[in-house]
Amino acid sequence: MTEKPKIAIYGLGACAGCDQTVVDLNEILLQLAETVDIVLWPLAMDFKLSRIQAMQDGEVALSILSGAVINSDHHEMAALLRRKSRIVLAMGTCACFGGVPGLANFCGREEMFNQVYRDAPTVTNPDGVRPQPETDVGGRKLTLPEFSGHVFTLDQVIDTDYYLPGCPPPPALIGNAITAVLAGDLPPKGSSLAPRKALCDTCPRNSRKPGRMDIRYFRRIHEVDADPDECFLAAGIVCLGPATRSGCGEACIRINVPCRGCFGPVPGGVGSAPKFLSTLTSLLTVERDDEIEEAIDSLPDPAGYLYRFCQPSSILGRKSLREEEAEA
């Protein structure tokens, strides 16, 4: 009997939502378990790190890694699984573009730690305790992974073969990706295993889009009673559909919530933020300086809106620990 291909599923700086979507494969997962050997999946089964370390290099057919790379443990596990795997798939927006944790890069390490361990209204920490990489407790040394000081995407830390964006990616796309890898039916390295169109192309509201937008100020979805069939942007509600890759099944749009951009940029763009920024301002029809300022000021935290899922992969936010990437 030939050996079944080995698959590893691991979450780095992730919320486990991506892992949960693998669970949502339901019956497909049972069929998959017949054809592959899942050697690592902490969400669903016990595993020993030493077992992975003892494997031959390249022994694992596919590693599916979700989450951003935030601390020393993530760096080590990403490097280990890269070494042991023939194909590495970055699953989910955090692994692909940095995701919501990547917003941490908008403040430095100190500011972030102050907020999380001192200033947040829910924090009670009179002694100012901060996590330490090493602590002596009763003569024993306890260790914690150390924060990198920066949130990285997976491909800024290890060579990454394929990408599957989404927060989380829909189960169907995950199923397709795994099937494609097992069948060896893959696009060129570096491809995203998701549709290539922009979300507006598949949006059910597109037919109601006016020929010319007339936005005079921005509104947020909770401030209005949005028409469930009308184009959000036409109503001045910020929707990142024009600059975001489709493939999510319009999950947010269908529950009357505008696109926030979790699928990342359409192919060919360095991040969706600059594209969307240009789109958004071109839709504003106000003319005088004071009107322009008032209209744009009506969008609170524009950087947070535009870079919600992609700060670490953005032009200004990106940093790479890989030499060839850093030079590019």
Partner 1 sequence: MEPYDPKIVCFSCNFGWGYLSGEEALGAVISNWIPVICTGKIDTRHILKAFKAGADGVLILGCPEGHCHFQDGNYQTRKKAYLIRKVLGAFGIEPERLDMELAIDPEGKKIPQLLARMKRRLAELGPVKITGDVR
Site for partner 1 in 215-274 (CB under 8 A): 270, 273-274
Instruction: Name which of 157 and 234 has its Cβ closer to partner 1.
Output: 157
Binding of partner 1 by 277 (CB under 8 A): yes
Candidates 315, 323, 324, 327: give the one binding partner 1 (CB under 8 A).
Answer: 315
Instruction: Name which of 34 and 134 has its Cβ closer to partner 1.
Output: 134
Residue 175: CB minimum distance to partner 1, A: 35
Binding of partner 1 by 150 (CB under 8 A): yes
**What helix, strand, coil percent values describe the chain, rounded to 5?**
40, 15, 45
Per-position x/- string for 94-123, each x denoting binding to partner 1 as judged by CB under 8 A, each - no binding: ----------xxxxxx--------------
CB 317 within 8 A of CB 97: no
Half-sphere exposure for 3 (CA within 13 Å, toward CB): 8
Residue 155: CB minimum distance to partner 1, A: 16
Instruction: Name which of 166 and 241 has its Cβ closer to partner 1.
Output: 241
Binding of partner 1 by 282 (CB under 8 A): yes
195-198 LR contacts (CB < 8 Å, sep 24+): 195/245, 195/246, 195/247, 196/245, 196/266, 196/267, 197/245, 197/246, 197/266, 198/241, 198/242, 198/243, 198/244, 198/245, 198/246, 198/266
Candidates 8, 266, 306, 310: give the one binding partner 1 (CB under 8 A).
Answer: 306
Binding of partner 1 by 187 (CB under 8 A): no
- Residue spans of alpha helices (H) in the chain: 17-23, 27-35, 49-53, 72-84, 93-97, 109-114, 171-183, 199-202, 273-283, 289-297, 302-306, 323-327
Residue 307: CB minimum distance to partner 1, A: 8
Which amino acid is present at 86? R
How are beta strands 147-152 and 85-91 bridged, if at all?
Answer: unpaired
Smallest CA-to-CA distance from 74 within 164, 135, 167, 157 is with: 157
Residue 268: CB minimum distance to partner 1, A: 12
Instruction: Name which of 12 and 39 has its Cβ closer to partner 1.
Output: 12
Binding of partner 1 by 292 (CB under 8 A): yes
Binding of partner 1 by 148 (CB under 8 A): yes
Instruction: Name which of 21 and 314 has its Cβ closer to partner 1.
Output: 314
CB atoms within 10 A of CB 101: 21
Rounded to an integer, what distance in angstroms lies between the CA atom of residue 66 and that of residue 71? 14
Residue 303: CB minimum distance to partner 1, A: 3
Contact residues for partner 1, defined by CB under 8 A? 104-109, 148-151, 270, 273-275, 277-278, 280-282, 284, 287, 289, 292-293, 296, 302-304, 306-307, 314-317, 319
